[in-house]
Homo-oligomer: A and B are copies of this chain.
Amino acid sequence: MTDPTDAPSLPKHLHLIEVGPRDGFQMESTFIPTDLKVATLDRLSASGVREIEATSFVHPKVIPQMADADEVMARIERNPAVRYLALVPNRRGAERALKAGIDGLRLVVCATETYNQRNVGLSVDESLRDFEQIVRLGEREDVEVSAVMAAAFGCPFEGKIDDSVVLELAQRFVDAGTHRVGLGDSAGLANPLQIRRLLRKYRDRLGDFPLWLHLHDTRGFGIANTIAALEEGVTRFDTSLGGLGGCPVMKGASGNVSTEDLLYLCREMEIETGVDLDAIREASRALQDFLGRPLASRVLQAGTRSELVARNQ
């Protein structure tokens, strides 16, 4: 018989980084009006979320959805308690982002050469040189710069990736001056066992160097992977309202872990997030109404336990 004290321990607190306005919106082929983007960000910043990936400063020809990034940032009601992050593809994007008042910059580097070429048209070395430049730019403006490794758990072009490749690149992120390392499962290929194994190797190599995870739910394992990471002590996660998201260069990749689903799970497991589920759902519903299709979040569709009971009275 198992001793209940054997249960893997869960952290008391989870820090959620809302990435829907970037990773979610960029996947939508219909242009989301600037008004709705601004309203979404304002709803999010009032929800208790403390970090939001608000937009991406990328060339409008590459991602037309993000053409209004500067205007969005100018029009939102800034909540001083919230850090507004932006994804930047290069130095020029970083300069635009800083001018727009972004609090933190993120650069994506893919774990494999093929994917990095397809994603940003650069070699991994070239991306890292860009990254170093952006770090220096950030230092001058006192803005944190982070790197997220796309396809850290499997590549849509090269398949399986050796853990050693991931750890080596994470080390290079650290050497290049990142403030945090992000590991992304852009293709939704991770499984809980792999998450545990890689996180343990990460700690062997990089100790307590700040880490966050960016997990997708493409094959339905997003929440299970999140739990495995929580049990390994990771407390920072990207999630997307409504479960919006995916990857523009990857067919069949869909959906970040949904903010609502993770929030509800945390509530049920007594992990504190400080985020109001209803406020997130209100923001998701407005987007759902505009997009005209049910969003992927299961809790958005099915509701909470108490709502289920109330409906059945």
Q: Is the CB of A220 within 8 A of B2?
A: no
A29 CB-CB contact with B under 8 Å: no
Q: How far is the CA of A2 from the CA of B196 in the complex (A)?
A: 10
How distant is A257 from chain B, measured CB to nearest CB, in Å?
9
How many residues belonging to A are interface residues under a CB distance threshold of 8 Å? 64
Q: Which residue of chain B lies nearest to A216 when distances are taken between CB atoms in the complex?
A: B302
Residues of B within 8 A of A188 (CB): 302
Q: How far is the CA of A220 from the CA of B266 in the complex (A)?
A: 13
Q: Is the CB of B191 within 8 A of A305?
A: no
Q: Is the CB of B196 within 8 A of A232?
A: no
A212 CB-CB contact with B under 8 Å: no
Q: Is the CB of B233 within 8 A of A298?
A: no
Q: Please report which residues of chain A, range 1-39, place their CB below 8 angstroms from some CB of chain B when the two chains form the complex.
A: 1-2, 4, 6-8, 10
Binds B, one of A41-49, A61-69, A200-208: A200-208
A158 CB-CB contact with B under 8 Å: yes
Binds B, one of A51-59, A126-134, A247-255: A247-255
**Which of these, B192, B203, B223, contacts A269 with CB under 8 Å?**
B192
6 tightest Cβ-Cβ pairs between the two chains A and B: A220-B298, A224-B224, A191-B268, A220-B261, A223-B224, A193-B269
Q: Is the CB of B305 within 8 A of A269?
A: no
Residues of chain A touching chain B, judged by Cβ–Cβ distance below 8 Å, are 1-2, 4, 6-8, 10, 154-160, 187-189, 191-194, 196-197, 200, 203-204, 207, 217-224, 226-228, 231-233, 250-254, 258, 261, 264-265, 268-269, 297-299, 301-303, 305-306, 308-309, 311-312
Q: Which residue of chain B lies nearest to A193 when distances are taken between CB atoms in the complex?
A: B269
Residues of B within 8 A of A193 (CB): 7, 10, 268-269
Q: How many copies does the complex hold?
A: 2
Q: How far is the CA of A40 from the CA of B214 in the complex (A)?
A: 38
Residues of B within 8 A of A265 (CB): 191, 219, 221, 224
Residues of B within 8 A of A250 (CB): 308, 312
Supply 9 A–B pairs (Cβ within 8 Å), ascending by A.
A1-B203, A155-B309, A157-B309, A158-B309, A219-B261, A220-B223, A221-B261, A252-B311, A254-B302
Q: Is the CB of A219 within 8 A of B159?
A: no
Q: Which residue of chain B lies nearest to A114 when distances are taken between CB atoms in the complex?
A: B312
Q: How far is the CA of A250 from the CA of B298 in the complex (A)?
A: 16
Q: Is the CB of B159 within 8 A of A232?
A: no
Q: How far is the CA of A194 from the CA of B264 in the complex (A)?
A: 14
Q: How far is the CA of A242 from the CA of B102 in the complex (A)?
A: 43
**Which of these, B155, B160, B299, contacts A220 with CB under 8 Å?**
B299
Residues of B within 8 A of A191 (CB): 265, 268-269
